Amino acid sequence: MEAHYNLGGALAKKGDLDGAVRAYQRAIDLKPDFAEAHHNLSLVLKATGSRTDARRAF
C-alpha cells in the first residue's frame, strides 16, 4: 500500500498524472482510510482538470 502511495508521488513529480491517479487509487483500494492518499489523489485530479472527481476524492 505504501509502495503505491510512494509511486503516486514519484509519478506526479515526473508529470505522469494518469499514472499517479492509478497508483494513489490502488493505495486507497488497499487501505480505504489512507487519508494522505485521498488528499494527494484529490490534488492530482484537480491538476488534471477533474474538479468534481477531486472533490469526491478529498
Kindly report the length of the chain. 58
**pTM (two decimals):** 0.89
Over the stretch 37-52, which tens digit does the pLDDT of each residue have? 999 999 999 999 888 8
Check which CATH number belongs to the domain holding 22 and give it.
Answer: 1.25.40.10
Number of CB atoms found within 10 A of residue 39's CB: 13
Q: Is the pLDDT of residue 53 over 80?
A: no
Q: How many domains does the chain have?
A: 1
Share the mean pLDDT of the chain. Answer: 93
Answer yes or no: are the C-beta atoms of 46 and 54 closer than 8 Å: yes
Q: Which domain, by its residues, includes 22? A: 2-57
Q: Which whole-number Å values give the CA distances from 57 to 10, 33, 45, 52, in the listed order?
A: 19, 12, 8, 9
